[in-house]
Structure 1
């Protein structure tokens, strides 16, 4: 039985715990024949002192203090009246659970098992619905086209749509290259592995490094392509001599140093050469040992003269550049109005999208300028005026 004092405590608790209360009444609200404003000055401690221990227990069960500092055992209404039999013994508890599981008899089967007469149960209703055929209405035009299509046309269509699992490798490549389907490889044909094509091994790079350095130093007019790809054991002295000569060269357009053992030690010399050279169009430093910071240093050097149109630096010592390096590279590329191609593996979509957008903008700008130049030359060489 809840007394009047407990009801009053309930009322005070819910009134104070509610932040906003909107009440619409035609008559003033009352509690026990008195207006609610009468209870504003009541002391809760005095009410609690009037309650018996049983009434306080009832109040504690009905009112959640919502205090995270109290343990759950003191916040919920459940009370265990049993006295503890002793401290917790985990080993005995597990033994008791295992004993109960062993001694508890198994539930009898609805139908006893007989060897050789087992019939698998029917699949669930959801699987039965999934196995049913789904009728798709493609329209009369598509239905007529697919019904009368040959096997080769269907295979070509599957290749265009990217259904690789519907065909073998020979069928897929034949469809893309428009060579016609191989004989005997239809839907019912035998799929066999195609022989691997053997390509000749690339011959070793026999370029004389000392001779090419001399050509760069002499600034020969016909020497526009330097290729040191795949040359091993190039000394630091040769790299230094090349970069010093490259800074003052005015005819070299392509610099290829892929797989040449280039490290961060030589990157600073190459960066200084790129900041001074005004004729280079292509720079290739793929498959070397350049760190992410070294790549940033090279890309930053391209902003000095803004003449390089293609820069390649994939497959370095560190395969992953990191978000900070990629964002820094993206900002440097967006400041470069001449770069058209960038060979660099980027992990984050934001960096790839922004760089691809900027490169396409540079290409469009060059195409637009070229069109304007052609139109200007065309109109200047016309013998008759365009408008009379």
Structure 2
């Protein structure tokens, strides 16, 4: 009796087929095989690897998995069964086995014959071919412009720009295993730091609260850090509470100039950027003041006696005359430089005008 017949009728040929009737026609082994086939999904990462396929091993386990003994057994089997020697030894330039011969359809053969005929018809003389082979792409384009034709009539090749070379990136020097414990220990050291100027902790597993504690430790007066890079952590979205704590710590730091971190809220970004700009302005003003002080040459203090007043006045007069002479020489040098720059500009203008006139003549 066929298994498709149940309850006195053909189940598959019936108009109202019920899934329970179909399952009732299957044996337990067939039902289990069907379940395994439907439940198996090789791309499902949420289930164990043994369940992703429909294969089920029915053998009983002989014991716990011992990786060392398994590798030793595999090596022993490899030694017992050596590789077969090749019947034909390798020789450079000699092909072993069957040589691949491409098979073409009749349409492909006709197309290849047509292309060969066209190439034979457009073949030039030897002198012309030598001239075109030695010509550059710009020469061919200029010749096509003169003859008012398509450059592909001269050379049937596709040109493309050479691929740019991008040097490989340097290896990542950061340690991706830095965690909260290591950063907490680092915070204690940074509070007394005066030599370290740059800190890079990118691409690690540091929690947001630890990042905030790091910036708070950098706000101490003895710290000398100028640059911090801490983006690319495992949890990128830190929340407004942590970002506001980081912004408050940054505003207490008068030396920090650059920060590498991704903020989510515009208010925090505005506060941090304004403070960094103010720190850079303060540093620039301090540098200008130092440069101005270094340019001034103060004369040493002198004791004035009634007997050498005239000598001091003469020396002051000579110094003033020397200063005036130096100022006049500087003014003359500036005037000469301005004249030289003006002459260069005039020459460039004349050359550009000449080039324009020559282009207009060529076009006419």
Scaled by the length of structure 1, what TM-score is found? 0.34
Scaled by the length of structure 2, what TM-score is found? 0.37
- Structure with higher helix content: 2
